[in-house]
């Protein structure tokens, strides 16, 4: 079983400086973008629940992960939570990078397929 760098008590009790130091060290040692982004997402939740300031933590690492690492489903899912980390020009570039035409077309085809696959079955229900 994988042991995480920080447990939930630490994520909600340690100070910003300590958390930044540990998460930064963890990312540079492991290169694990998934856990790093999840830690930062939890800290965004903590910021909303408390008066502590955890806004824009580790902007440089977040930008590096989104702009330089391999485009994955996880990055596409989490990108919306980190939109404020990027200016308008960077966000436009990132959106084009993460949401390529290939993904757009695949999503549209899936919606069309499910629409037409369900439609004949729904018409049989009334008969």
Contact 66/82 with Cβ under 8 angstroms? yes
Do the domain assignments include residue 126?
no
Tell me what pLDDT residue 2 has. 56
Secondary structure of residue 83 in the 3-state scheme: helix
* Spatial separation of the C-alpha atoms in residues 87 and 93, rounded to whole Å: 10
User: pLDDT per position in the chain (127 positions), as tens?
Assistant: 356 678 888 888 899 999 999 999 999 999 999 999 999 999 999 999 989 888 899 999 999 999 999 988 899 999 999 999 999 999 999 988 888 777 677 777 887 777 766 655 555 565 5
Tokens of residue 42, six digits: 């939890």
Q: What is the pLDDT of residue 62?
A: 95
What pLDDT sits at residue 41? 94
Question: Roughly how many angstroms between the first and final C-alpha of the chain, as a whole number?
Answer: 53
pLDDT at residue 5 in the model: 76
Backbone angles phi, psi at 110, to 5 degrees: -65, -40
Structural domain of 83? 6-121
pLDDT confidence of residue 107? 74
pLDDT value, residue 1: 36
CB 78 within 8 A of CB 46: no
CB 9 within 8 A of CB 42: no
Token pair listed for 15? 């100070």
Of 65, 2, 3, 69, nearest in space to 36 by CA: 65
Classify residue 12: in a domain, yes or no: yes
Alpha helix positions (H), 6-58: 8-11, 16-30, 33-49
> Looking at the 3D structure of the chain, how many domains does it have?
1
Give the separation between CA 34 and CA 36, rounded to whole angstroms: 5
d(CA 5, CA 77) in angstroms, rounded, equals: 23
């Amino acid at each position: 079983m994988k042991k995480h760098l920080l447990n939930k008590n630490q994520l909600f009790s340690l100070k910003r400086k300590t958390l930044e130091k540990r998460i930064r060290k963890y990312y540079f040692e492991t290169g694990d973008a998934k856990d790093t982004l999840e830690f930062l997402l939890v800290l965004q939740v903590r910021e909303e629940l408390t008066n502590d300031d955890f806004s824009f933590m580790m902007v440089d690492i977040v930008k590096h992960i989104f702009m330089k690492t391999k485009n994955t489903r996880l990055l596409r899912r989490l990108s919306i939570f980190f939109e404020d980390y990027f200016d308008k020009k960077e966000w436009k570039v990132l959106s084009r990078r993460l949401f390529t035409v290939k993904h757009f077309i695949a999503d549209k085809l899936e919606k069309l397929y499910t629409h037409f696959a369900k439609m004949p079955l729904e018409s049989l229900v009334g008969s």
